[in-house]
């Protein structure tokens, strides 16, 4: 059983930023980072399965914004290296959530620098810049709203609204440090923001190509392929109904309970197998005394 556990954990790590070997979450001892263990950010971001489903759902939602899509389409290597993008995104989230303060600051500086280089024009002629405060807010809200949705569905459906609001208040720090402005910081404000943004969203040929590539994304080995397919289906299922309809991703009502129960079984297995997640390593780092 122990060899099976280690093998599963190895496969999980191959999908995350941990496989890049650039972040040491075991050091420096006692460093609580940007948020610390009592934060809702540490709590919401701790479950691998919920974050994976939420992250896929967030990317699908983000790509409905034509300017966000244009920036990714023109400047990202996602079409050739979808797994690499997943790992780099995972690295940023793990580092800013659970890393020491110096590592978190370095990651923020790096992303700010990259954003300054991501400029261009969308197919409709509108200019875009990844450093645009409004675009940064869209990307942030898409991301954290789906992280929280994944947590509510697969970890704790009874999480109090006050605690959900606290998560949004805390995690807004990341968006603001990257340059976002007027970041919504409560469930009600997030809901109002998404409703306000809907007229700007669309699904075109490039959006559909992103969805196709996500379904076809290569996995590190054959054993990971069923997991990747399930996570993709669960990511679509997690979207707001209006977003999945806009994408044209229709799931039969009978399929959704099957997807969710399969994810719950997978999550239980992964919680048993994973002993060196970013959250677990950060907890051990804080338990050490200087």
> What's the mean pLDDT when you consider all of the chain?
93
DSSP count for the chain of H helices, then E strands: 14, 2
The pTM of this model reads: 0.95
**pLDDT digits 0-9 by tens, 225-261:** 788 899 999 999 999 999 999 999 989 999 999 999 9
C-alpha dist (Å) from residue 19 to 55, 100, 136, 177, 215: 18, 18, 27, 26, 22
Res 221 pLDDT > 70: no
Task: Report the C-alpha gap between 105 and 34 in whole angstroms.
Answer: 9
Give the C-alpha separation, 250 to 238, whole Å: 12
| Residue 220 pLDDT grade (very low, low, confident, very high; cuts 50, 70, 90) | low
Nearest to 45 by CA among 196, 179, 195, 150: 150
Question: Is pLDDT at 15 greater than 90 in this prediction?
Answer: no
Tokens for 272?
Answer: 């048993």
∠28-29-30 over CA atoms, to 5°?
115
The position carrying tokens 């290569």 is: 218
- C-alpha angle with apex 232: 271 to 246, nearest 5 degrees? 135
pLDDT for position 32: 94
Phi, psi of 124 (to 5 degrees): -85, 5
Is residue 218 a contact partner of residue 84, using CB atoms and an 8 Å limit? no
Quick one: residue 182, left, alpha or beta (phi over 0 = left, psi -120 to 50 = alpha)?
A: left
What's the half-sphere exposure (Cβ side, CA atoms, 13 Å) at 35? 29
Write down the pLDDT at residue 225: 79
pLDDT, tens digit, for every residue of 162-200?
A: 999 999 999 999 999 999 999 999 999 999 999 999 999
Report the pLDDT value the prediction gives residue 289, as an integer from 0 to 100.
59
Rounded CA-CA distance 253/208 in Å is 22
What's the confidence (pLDDT) of residue 66?
Answer: 97
pLDDT at 219: 67
- pLDDT category at 13 given cuts 50, 70, 90 is confident
| Chain-centre distance for alpha carbon 245 | 21
Q: How confident is the model at residue 11 (pLDDT cuts 50, 70, 90)?
A: confident
**pLDDT over threshold 60, residue 290:** no
Interatomic CA distance for residues 93 and 20, integer angstroms = 14
Q: Which residues pair with 119 in a beta bridge?
A: 129
pLDDT for res 83: 75
96, HSE (Cβ side, Cα atoms, 13 Å): 21
Highest-confidence range of 73-77, 78-82, 89-93, by mean pLDDT? 89-93
DSSP 158: T
Contact in structure between 148 and 164 (CB atoms under 8 Å) = yes
Closest CA to 144 of 117, 166, 111: 166
């Amino acid at each position: 059983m122990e060899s099976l556990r280690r093998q599963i954990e190895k496969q999980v790590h191959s999908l995350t930023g941990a496989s890049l070997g650039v972040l040491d979450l075991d050091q420096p001892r006692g460093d609580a980072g940007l948020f610390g263990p009592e934060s809702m950010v540490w709590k919401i971001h701790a479950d691998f399965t919920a974050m994976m489903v939420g992250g896929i759902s967030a990317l699908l939602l983000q790509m409905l914004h034509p300017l966000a899509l244009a920036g990714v389409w023109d400047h990202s290597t996602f079409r050739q290296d979808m797994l690499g993008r997943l790992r780099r995104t995972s690295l940023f989230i793990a580092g800013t959530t659970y890393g020491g303060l110096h590592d978190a600051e370095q990651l923020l500086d790096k992303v700010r620098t990259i954003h300054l280089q991501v400029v261009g024009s969308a197919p409709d002629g509108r200019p875009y810049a990844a450093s645009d405060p409004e675009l940064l807010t869209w990307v942030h809200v898409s991301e954290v709203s789906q992280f929280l949705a994944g947590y509510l569905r697969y970890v704790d459906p009874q999480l109090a609204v006050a605690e959900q609001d606290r998560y949004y208040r805390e995690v807004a720090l990341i968006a603001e440090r990257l340059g976002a402005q007027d970041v919504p910081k409560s469930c009600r404000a997030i809901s109002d923001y998404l409703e306000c943004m809907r007229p700007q969203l669309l699904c075109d040929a490039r959006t559909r190509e992103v969805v196709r590539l996500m379904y076809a994304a290569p996995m590190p080995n054959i054993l990971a392929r069923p997991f990747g397919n399930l996570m993709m289906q669960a990511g679509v299922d997690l979207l707001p109904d209006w977003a999945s309809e806009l994408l044209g991703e229709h799931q039969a009502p009978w399929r959704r309970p099957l997807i969710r129960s399969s994810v719950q079984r997978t999550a239980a297995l992964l919680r048993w197998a994973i002993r060196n997640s970013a959250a677990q390593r950060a907890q051990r780092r804080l338990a050490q005394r200087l």
